[in-house]
Structure 1
Amino acid sequence: MNIGGDLPVRRIGFGAMRLADSDIWHGPADREGALAVLRRAVELGVNFVDTSDAYSLGANEELIAEALHPYADDLVIATKAGVARPSPAEWVPLGRPEYLKQQAELSLRRLRLDRIDLFFLHRVDPQVPLADQIGALEELRKEGKIRHIGLSEVTVGQLEEASRLAPVAAVQNLYNLATREHEAVVDRAEKEGIAFVPFFPIATGDHARAEGPLAEVASEVGATPAQVALAWLLRRSPTMVPIPGTTSVAHLEENVGALAVTLTDAQYDRLSTLT
C-alpha cells in the first residue's frame, strides 16, 4: 500500500497505544520491554508505526523516538492531534486551529522529526467548523511540517467534506470482523485510493471464542485466530492497513505472520457473513 501515493508501507503496521498503561495516561510499566517491542517490529519489516499526542500525554511519541531514532529511511510514523486529556478518563475533542498547530509542533519535537509523514485529526470537534480544522492541517502541510493528512473516526460525509478542502491520505476508524459499522467508509476509501487504517483490528467476543468461527478457520489454514482476523481485513480491501498493538514480542511476531495467511473464497465468505 502506498499511503498518499508516495509512502509505501507493508500492510500490517504497529499501533503504539498499547505501549502505555491501562488508562493510556502514563508510560509503560516495563519500559525496556516496550522499547524491545518497537525495535523488534522494525526488525520484522514493519515500517508503519502509529501513535498520538494523547497517548501517555506525548510520552508515547518520545518512546518511539528513543527506540527507533535515527529512523530507517522507509519508516513511516503517523501521529494525531485533536483530543485533549484533562484527566485519565477524559478524551475531549479539541480542534481549534491554534491547538492543532501547537500539537503538531510538539509532536515534531518529541518524535525528533522535521516533518511528520502522516498527521491525523484525532477526532472531529463538533464545536469547530470542519473547514477550520482541516484548514489548519492543510497549512501545516503547505509549510512542510506534515506530509499527508489523515482523519480518525469519521463518516463518509465528513470524509467527503474534508476531501473537498484538502487531500486526505488515510482514514483511521474502529473496524474489525466483529465491529463493522464503517463498511461504507471502507468502501469509499478503497474507491478513492485512501488508506483505511483500522484500529482494534483483531475481533473479540463471540467471534474469537475457543470454538468460534475464527478458531475453525484458523485450524483449517494452520494459523491462529488473531492471524485469521487480520488476514480477513487484508482481503476485505486492498487499501486496508491494520495496526495491531501489543506489549508482547511473541504476539507481535504472530500478528506480522498474518501477512502469510491466505484465505480461500469460501473461508473469506464464511467469515464475512458473521454478525
Structure 2
Amino acid sequence: MTEPSGFLIGGDLAVQRLGFGAMQLPASPAAARENAIAVARRAVELGVTLIDTAYLYGAGANEELLVEALHPYPDGLVITTKVGVARSAATGEWELAGRPEVLRDQVERGLTRLRLERHALLQLHRVDPEVPLADQLGTLRELRDEGKIARIGLSEITAGQLAEARQIIEVASVQNRYSVFDREHEPVLDACTAAGIAFLPWRPVAGAGEEAAGGLPGEVAAVAAELGATPTQVALAWLLERSPVVLPIPGTADLAHLEENVAAQRIRLTPGQRGRLRVPAA
C-alpha cells in the first residue's frame, strides 16, 4: 500500500496522516469490549500512529479501554486526549468546564488512566465561554511547563479564537468538524494550513453512505465507482489531498470498516475528480 506522507505535529511529533478516532469503541458489555480491543489493536497493526480519545468518552472509560488494548504502547504510537468537559454536580449532565482547577485535575487524572508520564498532545475539548480563554490556555501552558503536556491543541474553535489562542500559546493542533460534505470550518483549516498547524477533522466521512442521485453525495458515489472504491474512501482521500496539514481521524467499531478506512490511503483523485467535488451551489 502506498502510504501518504507523514506529518510533524508541533514541528516535531511524527505521525502518519490517517489516524483513528476511538469515540465509537464501546467499553461494555464484555463482548463489545473484546471487539473494541481487537479493533484498536488492528488499527495499530495497519500502521495507524495517532489515536484520539477524550475524558468525555465515558468519563475516562474510553481511555482505559485503549490502555487495556495497547499498553505498553508501541514505539511511535501517540494517544491524544481532550479535557474541558465535565458532569454537572447539580444535574449530572455534561457541561463545558474550563476552570483552571478542573483542567488541571483532568490532565493529571488522564495521565494516570493512560499510564503516561506526559501527554504528547493534549487538546482543549471546547472553549468554555464562562472562563477567559487566557485562563484556560494559561493553565494548560503551566502544565506544559511542568512537563505534564508536550503540545497543546484546541477543538471546535473559530478562526478568531485560533488567532487569539496563538497570542497565548503555541497551538499544535486543531480538531474541528469537517468533511467533503461539511465545510463550515474552511476558514479555520485555511488558517491552520498557512501556519502549519495540524488539523484533525472529526466526523470526516459523515454523509458518505447516503444515497443520492445528484448533488455532492451523488458525485462522491460516482467518483467512487470510477475508482473502484467506496464513497467513504473517496471522502477520506479528498481530505488527505485537501491540505498537507489534514490528519483525518475516522472512527469505527467494525473491523471491516477499519480496513476500508485505512485502504483509503492508496486512493488518488484526478484533477477532474477533485474539481467535481466542489461545494455545491446553494
Distance of 2:66 and 2:280 partners within structure 1: 37
Secondary structure at 1:169's aligned position in 2? strand
Residue 208 of structure 1 contacts residue 214 of structure 1 at CA under 8 Å; is this kept in 2? Answer: no
Cα deviation, 1:26-80, whole Å, max 9, x if unaligned, reads 7786010000000000000000000001101101000011100111110011100
With normalisation by structure 1, the TM-score equals 0.94
Count residues in correspondence.
270
Cα deviation, 1:177-219, whole Å, max 9, x if unaligned, reads 11111000000000000000000000317x8316511110001
Distance of 2:121 and 2:179 partners within structure 1: 22
Q: Which runs of 5+ in 2 are unaligned?
A: 1-6
* Corresponding residue for residue 79 of structure 1: 81
Distance of 1:255 and 1:210 partners within structure 2: 21
Distance of 1:240 and 1:69 partners within structure 2: 27
Identity of aligned residues (%): 59
* Corresponding residue for residue 192 of structure 2: 189
Q: Report deviation, 1:7.
A: 1.0
* Corresponding residue for residue 214 of structure 1: 220
**What's the RMSD between the two structures over aligned residues?**
1.8
1:252 counterpart = 2:258: yes
Distance of 1:224 and 1:60 partners within structure 2: 29
User: CA, structure 1 residues 97+30, in 2 after alignment: closer, same or farther (shift >3 Å)?
Assistant: same
Distance of 2:42 and 2:235 partners within structure 1: 22
What one-letter code is carried by the residue in structure 2 that aligns with 1:252?
Answer: L
Stretch of structure 1 that moved more, 133-142 or 265-274: 265-274
Q: Report deviation, 1:86.
A: 4.0
With normalisation by structure 2, the TM-score equals 0.92
Q: Which runs of 5+ in 1 are unaligned?
A: none
Q: Report deviation, 1:269.
A: 1.2
1:170 counterpart = 2:176: no
What one-letter code is carried by the residue in structure 1 that aligns with 2:280?
Answer: L
Residue 20 of structure 2 contacts residue 51 of structure 2 at CA under 8 Å; is this kept in 1? Answer: yes
Residue 20 of structure 1 contacts residue 28 of structure 1 at CA under 8 Å; is this kept in 2? Answer: no
* Corresponding residue for residue 44 of structure 1: 46
Secondary structure at 2:226's aligned position in 1? helix
* Corresponding residue for residue 179 of structure 1: 182
User: CA, structure 1 residues 208+158, in 2 after alignment: closer, same or farther (shift >3 Å)?
Assistant: same
Q: Which of 61, 72, 88 is 1:70 aligned to?
A: 72
